């Protein structure tokens, strides 16, 4: 009902509608104004909810989750086909026929119910997508090193790596070389 405009009503009116539904769950329609200019029809919404719940029950009957199969990922019963994978393929605008070609063990109904199951039972754990991948690199500091300072810092780090903690760089390296050759 929210998709049909119920959210556009003031909060007090929405509360009034909720009270009416609580008092009479079988009500089919309700007029909000005295002249009947605004009428809320519950019968259609109730039918949509019943249909959705029925389809969700069908989806849960066709899926199993066993730790011995695909590490417990929800798969179609009798297969090793993950429901999440089929829902992802559908979300990438593949047709049901294309999926049937790739997974002949599935039926049209099982493929159509995959998004319902995945929406009702989302994957646990960290998301597979890296949300930061769409962004470019971001600058942490505004301070910049000149090329010579960066090169010196890099050479000193290499010197410490290959010659222990005592860095030998610049003139110190030349005098150390002379001392080693004279000795």
pLDDT per position as a tens digit, 106-142: 999 999 999 999 999 988 776 656 655 666 667 777 7
For the chain, where are the E strands, in sequence order?
Answer: 29-31, 39-41, 63-64, 75-76
**pLDDT of the residue at 114:** 94
Domain that holds residue 101: 62-120
In this prediction, residue 175 carries a pLDDT of 58
Domain contains 162: no
| Residue 31: strand pairing partners | 39
* Chain-centroid distance, C-alpha 67: 23
Residue 165 maps to a domain: no
Q: Which of 74, 95, 120 is the last residue of a domain?
A: 120
Residue 97 lies in a domain: yes
Average pLDDT, stretch 22-49? 81
Record the tokens describing residue 6, joined without a space: 């119920």
pLDDT digits (tens, 9 = 90+) for 67-115: 898 888 999 999 999 999 999 999 998 999 999 999 999 999 999 999 9
Strands 39-41 and 29-31: antiparallel
User: What is the residue whose two structure tokens read 């605004």?
Assistant: 38
Mean pLDDT of 158-173: 51
Domain count, the chain: 2
pTM above 0.75, yes or no: no
């Amino acid at each position: 009902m929210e998709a049909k405009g119920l959210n556009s009503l003031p909060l007090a009116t929405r509360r009034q509608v909720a009270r009416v539904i609580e008092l009479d769950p079988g009500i089919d329609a309700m007029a909000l104004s005295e002249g009947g200019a605004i009428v809320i029809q519950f019968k259609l919404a109730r039918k949509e909810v019943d249909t959705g719940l029925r389809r969700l029950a069908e989806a849960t009957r066709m899926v199993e989750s066993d730790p011995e199969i695909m590490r417990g990922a929800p798969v179609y019963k009798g297969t090793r086909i993950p429901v999440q994978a089929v829902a992802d393929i559908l979300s990438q605008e593949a047709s049901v026929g294309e999926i049937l070609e790739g997974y002949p063990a599935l039926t049209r109904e099982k493929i159509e119910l995959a998004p319902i199951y995945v929406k009702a039972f989302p994957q646990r754990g960290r998301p597979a997508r890296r949300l930061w991948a769409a962004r470019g690199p971001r600058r942490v500091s505004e301070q910049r090193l000149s090329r010579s300072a960066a090169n010196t810092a890099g050479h000193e780090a290499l010197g410490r790596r290959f010659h222990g903690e005592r860095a030998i760089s610049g003139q110190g390296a030349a005098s150390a070389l002379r001392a080693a050759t004279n000795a």
